[in-house]
Amino acid sequence: MADTQPIAAVQEQTNFDVLIIGAGISGIGEAYHLQQQCPNKSYCILEMKDTFGGTWETHKYPGIRSDSDLYTFGYRFKPWTGVPIASAEAILEYMGEVIEENAIDQHIRYGHRITRCSWSSDANQWVVQATRTADGAELTFTCNFLWMCQGYYDHENPNIPNWAGMDRYQGQLVHAQLWDPDTDYSGKKVLVIGSGATAATVIPEFAKQGEHVTMLQRSPTYFFCSENRNELADRLRKIGIDEPTIHRVVRAQILYDQDVLTERCKTEPDAVFEELKGLIRRYAGEDFAFEPHFTPRYRPWQQRLAFCPDGDVFQAAAAGKLTVVTDTIDTFTETGVRTTSGEELEADLICVCTGFHLAVMGNIPFDVDGQAVDWHDTVNYRGMMFTGVPNLAWVFGYFRASWTLRVDLLGDFVCGLLNHMDDIGARRVEVALRDEDAGMDILPWIEEDNFNPSYLMRDIDKMPQRGAKPEWRHNQDYRVEKDEIPATDLEAPEFVYDGIRATEPPKQAKSA
């Protein structure tokens, strides 16, 4: 069994059945599923950082926490027992336990940055080039199947718009993604640029110790305020229900509630907005003014709702510690920012919360039999496999629901696919458009009307494309996918094994 190999042997080995790229919540989750469901496969996780955690290790800004509840952001196989909205520290602790309890650590090689992935149809293998960050050594790994768990954004280069006059600013300017936890903001006037989930996280923290916080937003965001506790979980715990059952039941309840909310955001967005306002008023007071800074121009859930545990952002506003300005930046000045409408915003510290750059497949160059892969030339199969690229799956989670729900789903799917390949003796699998797909519209990755955050829209032309049929799109709908993906017929014509469509007779039989 793969997980009983001695550590030294695994660390020296360079050829594996499966290589997982990235030791974030996706990579660790998929390693677990692989060990459980394909115990005879050898595997290794290659991770460029010196530790696991991905997103939860990269971001160190004040208050860093999830904005999903951990009953659904946690894996289905490991109960979550803490408060629903969890700190990065608690998430890392949880992941650390998964690694330890399942002896995944002996399969991880940290400090290995993947620099190229090349598929060879002759050898039916991926050749993966990596730089060992400790000494710059160039290493080569090979595998039959490549499981891309490298996330969806550039961990090292956040999105910092090129604003006029930035070099004039004499205070401290930092992007949240590059925040140094030793930064002292006590007694400072802080300007937060942006109004998404990151801004919603840092504002209450800055408000606690800083003199005052100003949030400068281009446009308003929806906020969802709630206590950071789950009543059902608390009740089940109180009557002595075991944690695995609590995890399962609370997960189901949260998913049900989210489905209802998502649907209502489409069918009755105004009513939902009124309810969101009601929740805000609990913390900000009955007279809180929603115009102009808290009335978004899109309907709820077209972009992530920014979660406020215990209404913390609005508690800061009610305490007079937060000012909101809705405007654009004309220029930075020596002391802060001048807005387009001429307002001077003074700040000792500016925290830029303008998000990240999308990175398709970690911006790693790929080729198939010597031909460079342009991901935009491929069509995605349920957001996980891509036409023309064999033996590869990408874990791209959900935006509206917890990302990790898809980690479990794809874990089952990919393990099922690998086992199926073993059963039929195939070494190569790819997805290909079928005869019935001739003339199908080929469209951008996601409908703009479905989900349209700016980082995705900015670089949508780098993403794989989508077909107008359910198989050829990542619909971002867990409710549908939780039934559809497990029910996949691996012998359906969109699957091509060793160059032969699943529904065609084997080549030998044809020529006989």
Ligand X SMILES: Cc1cc2nc3c(=O)[nH]c(=O)nc-3n(C[C@H](O)[C@H](O)[C@H](O)COP(=O)(O)OP(=O)(O)OC[C@H]3O[C@@H](n4cnc5c(N)ncnc54)[C@H](O)[C@@H]3O)c2cc1C
The residues in 154-173 that bind ligand X, with binding defined as CB under 6 A, are 155
The reply on whether position 21 binds ligand X by CB under 6 A is: yes
The reply on whether position 73 binds ligand X by CB under 6 A is: yes
Burial bucket for residue 207 (CB in 10 Å: 0-12, 13-18, 19+): buried
Contact 440, 410 (CB under 8 A): no
Concatenate the DSSP letters of all residues of 112-175 into one string.
EEEEEEEEETTTTEEEEEEEETTT--EEEEEEEEEEE---SB-SSS------TTGGG--SEEEE
The reply on whether position 306 binds ligand X by CB under 6 A is: no
Contact 355, 454 (CB under 8 A): yes
The reply on whether position 67 binds ligand X by CB under 6 A is: yes
Residue of the chain from 2, 31, 42, 47 that contacts ligand X (CB under 6 A): 47
The reply on whether position 446 binds ligand X by CB under 6 A is: no
Contact 336, 344 (CB under 8 A): yes
CA dihedral of 251, 254, 255, 261, whole degrees rounded to 10: 180
User: How far is 147 from 432, CA to CA, in rounded Å?
Assistant: 19
Residue of the chain from 149, 173, 192, 193 that contacts ligand X (CB under 6 A): 149
User: What are the E-state strand segments in 22-123?
Assistant: 43-46, 108-109, 112-120
The reply on whether position 59 binds ligand X by CB under 6 A is: yes
The reply on whether position 46 binds ligand X by CB under 6 A is: yes
How many residues in the shown chain lie near ligand X by CB under 6 A? Answer: 31
The reply on whether position 481 binds ligand X by CB under 6 A is: no
Phi and psi at residue 483, to the nearest 5°:
-95, -40
The reply on whether position 23 binds ligand X by CB under 6 A is: yes
Q: How far is the CB of 23 from ligand X (least distance, A)?
A: 5
Q: Which stretch binds ligand X (CB under 6 A): 116-124, 395-403, 454-462, 495-503?
A: 395-403
The residues in 356-385 that bind ligand X, with binding defined as CB under 6 A, are 362, 364
Spatial CB neighbours of 456, under 8 Å, sequence gap ≥ 6: 358, 445, 446, 463
Q: Which stretch binds ligand X (CB under 6 A): 10-18, 63-71, 257-265, 283-291?
A: 63-71
The reply on whether position 62 binds ligand X by CB under 6 A is: no
Phi and psi at residue 233, to the nearest 5°:
-60, -45
The reply on whether position 113 binds ligand X by CB under 6 A is: yes
The reply on whether position 456 binds ligand X by CB under 6 A is: no
Q: How far is the CB of 213 from ligand X (least distance, A)?
A: 19
The reply on whether position 150 binds ligand X by CB under 6 A is: yes
- What is the x/- site pattern for ligand X, positions 167-206, by CB under 6 A? -------------------------------x--------
- Whether the bond between 6 and the residue before it is cis, its omega within 30 degrees of 0, is no
Q: How far is the CB of 430 from ligand X (least distance, A)?
A: 23
Q: Which stretch binds ligand X (CB under 6 A): 23-31, 133-141, 231-239, 244-252?
A: 23-31
Residue of the chain from 2, 18, 19, 24 that contacts ligand X (CB under 6 A): 24
Of the pair 99, 395, the CB lying nearest ligand X is at: 395
Burial bucket for residue 246 (CB in 10 Å: 0-12, 13-18, 19+): buried
Q: In what order do the strands lie in the sheet with 349-352?
A: 172-175, 349-352, 189-193, 212-217, 322-326
User: How far is 470 from 69, CA to CA, in rounded Å?
Assistant: 28
Q: Quote the DSSP letter at residue 494.
A: T
Interface residues with ligand X (CB under 6 A) are 21-27, 46-49, 54-55, 59, 66-68, 73, 113-114, 149-151, 155, 198, 362, 364, 395, 397, 402-403
